[in-house]
Amino acid sequence: MGQDKSILVVNPGSTSIKVAVFRDSICINKSTINHRISELKGFLEIADQLEFRMNAVTKWMRDEGIDESSLEAVVGRGGLLRPTQSGTYVVTEKMVEDLKAGAGGQHAANLGGMIAKEIADRNNILAFVVDPVSVDELEDIARVSGIPEIERKSLIHALNIKSVCRYASKELGRDVLDLNMIACHLGGGISIAPVKCGRLIDVNNASESGPFSPDRAGSLPAGNVIELAFSGKLSLKEIKDKISVASGLAAYLGTNDVIEIDKRIEDGDKYAKLIFEAMAYQISKEIGAMATVLYGKVDAIILTGGLANSKRLVDIIIERVKFISIAPILIYPGEMEMVSLYEGALRVLEGFDKAKVYEDEVFKNGREF
């Protein structure tokens, strides 16, 4: 990197944007830009928010005295693109088209690449995304659903999972390419993946299946979902919203705040205890299922994400899964997404990795435009 050059990191969420500036592997400025729900209600599609979100990031940089001419690159969180391989990608016009169209679905993360490209273009620098949500390294056997018309998809917290696997391999003193691990991102959405030699060979689709989470339903009885869909009570959008943003702990307990729920359990709320332990039960069961993918040969089980801060949750999971192999259970609370985004861009700028081109990778995977 050039002297005194920095990398801007942009990580959009549903009602906020995490922003940070890194220089020489040190975070010199970071913040979370929060948006009121009322400010976002008027936008029909995620892409419609681009100008509003861009203005918020630009204002933050101006208020913090960040000189855009000091930037060497901008990196954003990768969104729901077409299925592709893990890695750092240059943000191209074709990628932006797919992000705007929601080629892989609508998600606030889609704004990451768009914002990065806008800021990079006006400063004549590079824009990247790293390990987008749509990273697809599934083995062919994991794609079979039971209905020929429906293929199982990979939608996963790839960025954080890849990062904690690299961190865990260092802690274990081994190469990540020599390890079998089960990595569990436990947050608003839950991704549980068997990681074989660095590849995410299976995963519950965090938006549609697996354990229920603070506000997602996870796997549901198909017959009941079909009956609800044809009951006439809810529109297609209402059903999708119910499953993906208005279920889980929030639906049962009226809140998705695990700290509040933990306090209710401490105060003797037996129903809250049942529901919370049911979530832990489903997470544990999914870990057990993924152990079979690796034939039980598991070198480590990793718990990460915001929910890994909950001692109650972690203790329940450990008690249920500690029988698996002789694998240590490693806890990395929170997420490493901002650092992971920075490091992904840095590896390319310093010549350790080669940036991938989205169109080329999609074509190689047989997902032609």
pLDDT, tens digit, 9 for 90 and up, residues 78-106:
989 999 889 999 999 999 999 999 888 88
Q: Is the pLDDT of residue 2 over 70?
A: no
Q: Given a cut of 90, is residue 39 above it in pLDDT?
A: no
Please tell me the predicted confidence (pLDDT) of residue 244: 84
Is the separation of the CB atoms in 326 and 297 below 8 Å? Answer: no
Q: Is 127 exposed, middle or buried (0-12, 13-18, 19+ CB in 10 A)?
A: buried
Q: Tell me the C-alpha distance between 291 and 282, whole Å.
A: 14
Using N-to-C axis directions, what is the helix angle for 158-172 and 337-349, rounded to 10°? 80
Structure tokens given for 217: 């339903």
Q: Which pLDDT value is given to residue 1?
A: 54
- The per-residue pLDDT for range 43-71, each reduced to its tens digit, is 888 999 999 999 999 999 999 999 999 99
Please answer whether residues 161 and 189 qualify as being in contact, where contact means their C-beta atoms are separated by less than 8 angstroms. Answer: no
- For 159-333, CATH number out of 3.40.50.10800, 1.10.10.10, 3.40.50.10210, 3.30.420.40 equals 3.30.420.40
Q: In which order are the strands placed within the sheet that holds 300-305?
A: 199-200, 190-196, 180-186, 300-305, 329-333
Give the strands of the sheet with 356-357, arranged side by side: 26-34, 16-23, 6-12, 71-77, 126-130, 88-90, 356-357
Which tens digit of pLDDT belongs to each residue from 241-290?
889 888 999 999 999 999 999 999 999 999 999 999 999 999 999 999 99
Q: Please indicate whether residue 307 or residue 208 has the higher confidence score (pLDDT).
A: 307
- CATH 3.30.420.40 domain span(s) along the chain: 6-134+337-364, 159-333
Is 70 exceeded by the pLDDT of residue 367? no
* pLDDT(369) > 80: no
Tell me: pLDDT of 220 over 90: yes
Q: Is the pLDDT of residue 365 over 90?
A: no
- Tell me how far apart the alpha carbons of residues 303 and 306 are, in angstroms, rounded to a whole number: 10
Tell me which residue of 245, 275, 246 sits closest to 260, measured CA to CA. Answer: 275
| Bridge partners of residue 302, in order along the sequence | 183, 330
Q: What is the mean pLDDT of the chain?
A: 93
User: For position 335, what pLDDT does the model report?
Assistant: 80
Q: What is the CATH code of the structural domain delimited by 6-134+337-364? A: 3.30.420.40
73-109: string of b/e by CB count within 10 Å (b at 16+)? Answer: bbbbbbbbbbbbebbbbbbbeebbebbbebbbbebbb
pLDDT over 90 for what percent of the chain?
80
Q: For 124-179, how does the pLDDT look when each residue is reduced to its tens digit (9 = 90+)?
A: 999 999 999 889 999 999 999 999 999 998 988 999 999 999 999 999 999 999 99
Nearest to 343 by CA among 158, 135, 88: 88
pLDDT for residue 366: 58
Please state whether beta strands 88-90 and 356-357 pair in parallel, antiparallel, or not at all (unpaired): parallel
Question: For position 272, what pLDDT does the model report?
Answer: 98
Confidence of residue 182 (pLDDT cuts 50, 70, 90): very high
- 340: tokens are 């992971």
Dist. CA 55–CA 45, nearest whole Å? 17
Residue 364: per-residue pLDDT? 66
Q: What is the pLDDT of residue 136?
A: 93
- Report whether pLDDT(345) > 70: yes
